[in-house]
Amino acid sequence: MKDLWFDPSQCLIDGQWIAPSGGQTLPLFDPSTGEEIGAIARGQAADIDAAVGAATKAWQGAWGRTPAAERGRILMALGRLVAEKVDVLARIEAADVGKPLKQARADAVALARYLEFYGGAADKLHGETIPYLDGYTVYTLREPHGVTGHIVPWNYPMQIIGRSVGAALAAGNACVLKPAEDACLTALAFADLARQVGLPDGALNVVPGLGAEAGAALTAHPGVHHLSFTGSVATGRMVQRAASENVVPVTLELGGKSPQIVFDDADLEAALPFLVNAGIQNCGQTCSASSRILVQRKVYEQVREAMASRYAGLRVGKAVDDLDVGPVISAKQKGLVEGFLDKGQGLEIAGQATLNDLPSDGYYVAPTLYAGVAQDHALAQDEIFGPVQVMIPFEDEAEAVAIANGTDYGLVAGVWTRDGARQMRMARSIRAGQVFLNNYGAGGGVELPFGGIGKSGHGREKGFEALYGFTTLKTVAAYHG
As measured in angstroms, the least distance from the Cβ of 122 to ligand NAD is 23
Cα–Cα distance, 456 to 231 (Å, whole number): 10
Cα–Cα distance, 291 to 105 (Å, whole number): 24
**Three-state DSSP class for residue 248:** coil
- H or E element in which residue 258 lies: strand 258-262
Nearer to ligand NAD, 237 or 298 (CB): 237
Rounded to whole angstroms, what are the CA distances from 169 to 70, 199, 283, 353, 446? 11, 10, 31, 43, 16
Q: Hey, which residues between 90 and 149 contact ligand NAD (CB under 6 A)?
A: none
Q: Hey, which residues between 140 and 159 contact ligand NAD (CB under 6 A)?
A: 151-156
Helical ranges in 197-344 per DSSP H: 216-220, 233-246, 268-280, 297-313, 331-343
User: Is the Cα torsion angle 22, 19, 246, 251 positive or negative in sign?
Assistant: negative
As measured in angstroms, the least distance from the Cβ of 278 to ligand NAD is 14
| 181 touches ligand NAD by CB under 6 A | yes
Nearer to ligand NAD, 282 or 417 (CB): 282
Nearer to ligand NAD, 204 or 272 (CB): 204
Q: Hey, which residues between 378 and 397 contact ligand NAD (CB under 6 A)?
A: 383, 385
As measured in angstroms, the least distance from the Cβ of 479 to ligand NAD is 45
Instruction: Tell me which of 26, 58, 180, 307 binds ligand NAD, using CB under 6 A.
Output: 180
What number of other Cβ atoms are within 10 A of residue 68's Cβ?
Answer: 17
For residue 81, which of 245, 203, 194 has the smallest C-alpha distance? 194
* CA geometry: angle 233, 245, 163, nearest 5 deg: 50
Q: Hey, which residues between 404 and 423 contact ligand NAD (CB under 6 A)?
A: 411
The reply to whether 184 belongs to the active site is no
Strands 11-13, 16-18: pairing kind:
antiparallel
As measured in angstroms, the least distance from the Cβ of 108 to ligand NAD is 17
| 19 touches ligand NAD by CB under 6 A | no
As measured in angstroms, the least distance from the Cβ of 348 to ligand NAD is 26
For residue 120, which of 168, 74, 174 has the smallest C-alpha distance? 74
Instruction: Tell me which of 287, 299, 337, 401 binds ligand NAD, using CB under 6 A.
Output: 287
| 255 touches ligand NAD by CB under 6 A | yes
Torsion of CA 336, 338, 343, 348, to 10 degrees: 140
298 CB contacts (<8 Å, ≥6 apart)? 264
User: Is the CB of residue 213 less than 8 Å from the CB of residue 47?
Assistant: no
Nearer to ligand NAD, 187 or 404 (CB): 187
Catalytic residue among 11, 184, 283, 287: 287
Binding characters for ligand NAD, 30-69, by CB under 6 A (x = yes): ----------------------------------------
Cα–Cα distance, 136 to 133 (Å, whole number): 6
Nearer to ligand NAD, 417 or 456 (CB): 456
**CA-derived radius of gyration, the chain:** 23
| 284 touches ligand NAD by CB under 6 A | no
As measured in angstroms, the least distance from the Cβ of 181 to ligand NAD is 5
Nearer to ligand NAD, 27 or 198 (CB): 27
Nearer to ligand NAD, 167 or 239 (CB): 239
The reply to whether 287 belongs to the active site is yes
Nearer to ligand NAD, 312 or 453 (CB): 453
Looking at 6-14, 100-108, 178-186, 400-408, which segment touches ligand NAD (CB under 6 A)? 178-186
As measured in angstroms, the least distance from the Cβ of 353 to ligand NAD is 22
Q: Minimal CB distance to ligand NAD: which residue?
A: 211
Binding characters for ligand NAD, 206-225, by CB under 6 A (x = yes): -----xx--xx--x------
Catalytic residue among 93, 116, 213, 253: 253
User: Is the CB of residue 274 less than 8 Å from the CB of residue 389?
Assistant: no
Cα–Cα distance, 320 to 70 (Å, whole number): 38
As measured in angstroms, the least distance from the Cβ of 253 to ligand NAD is 3
**Three-state DSSP class for residue 174:** strand
Question: Chain centroid to CA 406: how far?
Answer: 23
Nearer to ligand NAD, 349 or 448 (CB): 448
197 CB contacts (<8 Å, ≥6 apart)? 74, 77, 78, 81
Number of residues that bind ligand NAD (CB under 6 A): 29
Q: Hey, which residues between 229 and 248 contact ligand NAD (CB under 6 A)?
A: 230-232, 235, 238-239
| 466 touches ligand NAD by CB under 6 A | no
Phi, psi of 184 (to 5 degrees): -125, 5
Looking at 137-145, 173-181, 358-366, 390-398, which segment touches ligand NAD (CB under 6 A)? 173-181
Nearer to ligand NAD, 252 or 415 (CB): 252
What number of other Cβ atoms are within 10 A of residue 364's Cβ?
Answer: 25
Cα–Cα distance, 20 to 1 (Å, whole number): 20
Contact residues: ligand NAD, CB under 6 A: 151-156, 178, 180-181, 211-212, 215-216, 219, 230-232, 235, 238-239, 253-256, 287, 383, 385, 411, 457
Catalytic site residues? 253, 287
